[in-house]
Structure 1
Amino acid sequence: MNPLSWNCRGLGNPQSVRALHDLVRCWDLKVVFFMETKSKTKRIEMIKNRIGMANGLIIPCIGRSGGLALLWAREVDLEIKNFSNNHIDATITEPDNNFKWRLTGFYGHPETHRRYESWHLLAFLHNQFQLSWLCLGDFNEILSTEEKSGGTPRPQQQMDGFKKVVDYCGFQDLGYIGSDFTWCNMQEGENRKYLRLDKAFAILEWTEKFGGKKVLHIVDSTSDHCALVILDSTSNRHSQEKRFHFKALWTKNADCKAIIEVSWGIGADLSTPEGIMENLKSCATEPTKWRLEVYGQIRKNIQAKRNALNSLTKQDKGGDMGTEINSLRKEINELLDDEEIYWGQRAKAH
């Protein structure tokens, strides 16, 4: 199981929803925790269904800020224990050995003068019950100056408060793969600032039970925060060959009609069952190639630019590549808009 944690900075626009859908599909995610949804319950319920999750606990936003959600697939044995506007605490029972462990999605208070409330909450959760524990989310704080690039120096006392509660809970930082930081203020030049605010912690018992887990930082164009995906050593991007389905929309395109007419009856005897089957196969193969050429380029371009975005962000140690990165983010979001328009038109056509 590969949990996701993401401060999505709002799920009110189609771009963010499609980005979330892509993450779930790409990594075959079964449990997702996201923060700052800035959405009400009805909106998150719709998104839950769209990304294929059967169950969920939704904490709606207050005004135009906040909002948490923990969503999980039908096959996951998950039980909610407690929650607030800043956390969701649950237990998960593994299906193969009935091993029960604790998952906490956590959102540190965004206001600095109230950050101590978050640390009190973490300490309180630690004392609730003892289980193998994974805690992940946006803590809105760093542990050391190495987790920051640009901007004014972080007060040591502020970082010490976070470090003290991490030690009190017996947490180990699971580390990461990818960009050194998880948040950017999106400014350019000397004003650009990076912080590693999003983390995954676990106690020793959890790391021993689930050895080899890694935290992947995924930069996305729709949020100023990276998404965090917990991976094991065997995790791969999910790829599945799909069965051919002819789309009625294609018949409205003259090129597709011509391809089908040319494909049918070429090099096969239509008087035999074998020949008919060969023609049907050809009429599936050629339109599929055509579809990928015509409609598949948007998806291909999005993925290529997302790969480039992650690579550039990882290289941008000093913040000098801000203009290029922000421009690439804009290009990806425009492509996401194009893709949303395409799927919307296709839905209307059907």
Structure 2
Amino acid sequence: MRTLAWNARGLGGPRAIHILQNLKREMDPEIMFLMETKLGVQALERIRIKLGYLGKLVVESVGRSGGLCLFWSDRICADLISFSRFHIDVKITSSESKLLRFDWLLWQSRFNTTGPFVDVVTEEGPPRQRRLIEEFREAVDDCELMDIGFRGPGFTWSNRRDGSAMVQERLDRGFQYLLWHQMFPNSFVQHLGYWKSDHRPILVEILTASDQYLVVGERRRRRFHFEACWADCEECDVLASSS
């Protein structure tokens, strides 16, 4: 199973839609989570149709700020647990009858660094921002989470400047519980390229011990029986048809 997450910094305009269509075509994620959409329900419904996803859950932006959106394909069943302006928590059942729980979190605190890079989990950062970094670490520790790790470039955010003015950070990442890691030990996060946003999209590939490592970008075709996944899931059916 693949899930793609991207802090898009706004989805208005044809360029952003074109980028999403390319990501959908090349990565084929069953789940797509978008942060800072800066859009309302109707605009995101049009994007859902263009991308060909079955269902969506939208947390609308406040004016031109924020906004979350979760799309999912007909290969999975999504059961909403909770949501807010800063997170979406769902239970996922895949077409292979794998039951997963995902919590997509938008960490709102910005770490405006002055050095060449900052890893917000392992680096201290400037003094005035140590409290924010420590709060992030405490949240990770309290939830007993482990970083999944990643492949690709080392950082997921850049101020897109040249030379000594460049700042890079690893702000976007995936975490897992120990039990989750034991169930899906070959899973990994792939850092993708920069497009419109100053954040890279990240792709989470969920693999069990028996799964083979898959090449990012390789299209996979799987059989899926819609009735088997959705027939007994009333809430999922409501989510899929909501707008």
Same fold (TM over 0.5): yes
Divergent runs of 4+, >3 A: 152-157
Give the number of the structure whose residues are more often helix, by fraction: 1
Structure 2 equivalent of residue 238 of structure 1: 218
Whether the 8 Å contact between 1:143 and 1:163 is mirrored in structure 2 is yes
Matched residue of 1:164: which SS? helix
Q: Distance in 1 between matches of 2:128 and 2:123?
A: 7
- Cα distance change of structure 1 residues 142 and 154 upon mapping to structure 2, 3 Å threshold: farther
Which of 1 and 2 has higher RCO (CA within 8 Å, sep 6+)?
2
Give the number of the structure whose residues are more often strand, by fraction: 2
Q: Distance in 2 between matches of 1:91 and 1:235?
A: 26
Normalized against structure 2, the TM-score is what? 0.79
Normalized against structure 1, the TM-score is what? 0.56
TM alignment of 1:31-42, pairs within 5 A: 31-42=31-42
Q: Distance in 2 between matches of 1:68 and 1:60?
A: 7
Q: Deviations over 1:34-63 (max 9, x none)?
A: 100011111111111111101000111111
TM alignment of 1:260-279, pairs within 5 A: none
Whether the 8 Å contact between 1:26 and 1:237 is mirrored in structure 2 is yes
TM-superposed deviation, 1:157: 3.2
Q: Distance in 2 between matches of 1:71 and 1:153?
A: 39
TM-superposed deviation, 1:154: 6.8
Q: Distance in 2 between matches of 1:72 and 1:106?
A: 17
TM-superposed deviation, 1:87: 0.4
CA RMSD across the alignment: 2.2
Which amino acid is 1:223 matched to?
S
Of 151, 161, 178, 1:177 maps to 151
TM-superposed deviation, 1:100: 2.2
Structure 2 equivalent of residue 219 of structure 1: 193
Structure 2 equivalent of residue 229 of structure 1: 203
Structure 1 unaligned regions, length at least 5:
113-140, 241-350
Q: Distance in 2 between matches of 1:207 and 1:167?
A: 16
Whether the 8 Å contact between 1:19 and 1:220 is mirrored in structure 2 is no
Q: Distance in 1 between matches of 2:52 and 2:128?
A: 41
Of 123, 128, 133, 1:145 maps to 123
- Radius of gyration: which is bigger? 1
TM-superposed deviation, 1:207: 1.2
Quote the sequence identity (%).
Answer: 31
Structure 2 equivalent of residue 102 of structure 1: 101
TM-superposed deviation, 1:144: 2.0
Structure 2 unaligned regions, length at least 5:
112-118, 208-212, 221-243
TM-superposed deviation, 1:187: 2.5
Number of residue equivalences = 208
TM alignment of 1:81-100, pairs within 5 A: 81-96=81-96, 98-100=97-99
